[in-house]
Chains A and B, each alone.
Chain A
Amino acid sequence: MTTRLNPSLIVLTVLVYIFLMGPLIIVLGASVSDTSYLTFPPQGFTLHWFERIFEMGAFRRTIITSLQIAFLATGLALLIGIPAAYALNRYRIQLPSWLSTLFVLPILVPEVVLGFSLLRSVAVEYQTPIFATLLVGHTLIVLPYCVRVISASLASFDFSIEEAAISLGSRPLKTFFTIVLPNVRSGVIAAFILAFITSINDVSVSLFLTGPGVSTLPIQILAHVEQFFDPVIASVSVLLMLLTVAVMAVVERTLGLTFLAK
């Protein structure tokens, strides 16, 4: 038997979900409108605005940069985050407790402050290339997801299995790749997805680190909206929403939708 819900609460929930979905449906509608301005419901139907995205050099370039940065930053963060998460679990007693706090600092520090500080103390001070600084910034903001999520899966891993493999003569590195990593596969996938989507959508850190010639998609969208109010932005937004759908589909396939409920 389940508890009965107050009807007014159900009405409120329906309204909240209309509020959550409505704006995104409006963007979808506006992206296919056959008008030179943004409107909803769409007048006519065209996919012209989607073609426009790729005709415009600035969007093409920033989409490529955003994808490069997202893949590289996520890869780097996993590369250094997985050993860190492993160490935090395997050698918990030997390591100081502040270490795990250190790895979540990038979430605790306001992103605009991080972006500005990287500009001030790294990009300007040492004249580092824009792309490299941007990559460092993105690796930092996605690192906490990698460490936290993989740590959580390692927490339920029984390390005696690893010890058994080693005592039976398996080399440590091989043991890690054949025994430990497959057991935390779902954690690695989840970390990858969270990190990738965080990097693709980031504004606050990129804001200070983009420069002449190198920019990311969200920054380009902001710049475009300041000058033009055409359906191109709506169609770019739809592309980003499609990416979200793809990501959720991957999660559903690999981890099951119950994962999202956590």
Chain B
Amino acid sequence: MLKRLAGWGLSTPATLLVVIFLVLPVAATIIATFLEPKGLFAPYQAFFASGFRRSVLWRTLEISLVTTFVSVLIGFLTAYVVSRTPGRLKSLLIIAAVFPLLTGVVVRSFAWLIILGKNGILNNFLISIGVTDEPFSMLYTQWSVIIAMVYLFVPLMILTLVGVLENIPDDLIQASASLGATPAATFRQVIFPLAVPGIIVGAVLVFTGSFTSYATPQLLGGESQMVMGTLMYQRAMVAFDWVGASTIAAIMVVVTVVVVLLMTRVARRLNPMAT
């Protein structure tokens, strides 16, 4: 009894902070969308009735899915090499992945603004080697957003997977080889299945991160490539349409929660280590 009291006492300040300033406000935002005088689901009907808003939702899903797929692919292959690199070089490669991760989203997105801009480095380079006379407009396209997001999330994916792949013992890989499996077969049948839970954890982080991002699509996509995050900001802070913004917030929360729950369930089922 005394112990329970002590436990609660010590965790009360943190509990209160989260409940008062996160759980209640976020719940209030979501509940407010159902209290509209026009009807229970009116804000959602309005959202899905608008072709523009629907297109924003699909674009956000598309960008997030492509970003997740590319980041997982690149991150997995790179993490595999890093995990099998000896000693000092390995820590150097890990540091080189941590450094961008700790550098802010704004800085890393801004870097791509310099590269992809109309007078940007890539265009100047292409003009100087005579590939084109006119600069390409690479900025404010779906691809500019995706490139910058992949750039954002590959380090996260590498670091998530290096730990997982390191735990696969070398003996296991050698056993597979000595039993006659080609390196490709070992990779496909031994290494990949063992890494699946880690891949899913990473993929969830990347998907939810890109689905709810603001800075990167704002800088590299602008008005023409609006996504859920930028649309929500625009509804709330420019149009002062708070119900509209709350509706977008609620959709974001639902998508994030569904993806997290679904994927953790899938991860648990696919985990070959599970008993």
Report which A residues bind B (CB closer than 8 A): 1-6, 9-10, 12-13, 16-17, 19-21, 23-24, 26-27, 30, 37-40, 79-81, 83-84, 86-88, 90-91, 94-95, 99, 102-103, 105-106, 108-114, 116-122, 136-137, 139-140, 143, 147, 197, 200-201, 203-204, 207-208, 218, 221-222, 225, 229, 233-234, 237, 240-241, 244-245, 247-248, 257-258, 260-262
Contacts and interface: CB of A to CB of B under 8 A. Distances in A.
Given A23-B108, A102-B15, A108 B256 contact: yes
B77 to A, nearest CB: 6
B151 interface: yes
A85 B151 CA distance: 34
B82 A13 contact: yes
B253 interface: yes
Contacts of B249: 110, 112-113, 116-117
Nearest to A3: B173
Contact of A233 (B26, B110, B119, B236): B110
Interface residues of B, number: 90
B179 to A, nearest CB: 15
B163 interface: yes
Interface stretch (B36-44, B45-53, B88-96, B192-200): B88-96
A122 B17 CA distance: 13
Contacts, number: 261
26 contacts: A3-B174, A5-B84, A12-B74, A13-B81, A17-B78, A20-B97, A20-B154, A21-B96, A24-B103, A26-B115, A26-B121, A84-B15, A87-B10, A94-B4, A95-B4, A102-B15, A109-B22, A110-B252, A112-B233, A112-B252, A116-B29, A116-B249, A117-B26, A121-B24, A204-B214, A208-B236
B17 A99 contact: no
Given A99-B15, A121-B28, A38 B103 contact: no
B94 A260 contact: yes
Interface in B100-128: 100, 102-108, 110-115, 117, 119, 121, 124
B252 A113 contact: yes
Considering residues A119, A197, A233, A261, which has the most beta carbons from chain B within 10 angstroms of its beta carbon? A261
A247 B183 CA distance: 40
B130 interface: no
Contacts of A94: 3-4, 7
Given A84-B10, A105-B18, 18 more contacts: A2-B170, A3-B174, A24-B100, A27-B114, A38-B114, A38-B117, A84-B13, A99-B15, A106-B18, A110-B253, A112-B212, A118-B25, A136-B21, A140-B21, A201-B104, A203-B214, A222-B218, A237-B111
Among A140, A207, A262, residue most surrounded by chain B Cβ atoms (within 10 Å) = A207
- 6 tightest CB-CB pairs across the interface, nearest first? A91-B7, A201-B104, A23-B111, A110-B212, A117-B25, A121-B25
A83 B13 contact: yes
B180 interface: no
B212 A17 contact: no
A138 B7 CA distance: 25
In this complex, the member of A1, A39, A260 whose beta carbon has the largest number of chain B beta carbons within 10 angstroms is: A260
B6 A91 contact: yes
Contacts of A207: 214, 233
Interface of B: 3-4, 6-11, 13-15, 17-19, 21-26, 28-29, 32, 74, 77-78, 80-82, 84, 86, 90-91, 93-100, 102-108, 110-115, 117, 119, 121, 124, 151, 154-155, 162-163, 170, 173-174, 177, 183, 208, 211-215, 218-219, 229, 232-233, 236-237, 242, 245-246, 249, 252-253, 256-257, 260
B64 to A, nearest CB: 12
B29 to A, nearest CB: 4
A110 B170 CA distance: 39
Given A5-B84, A24-B100, A221-B106, A84 B212 contact: no
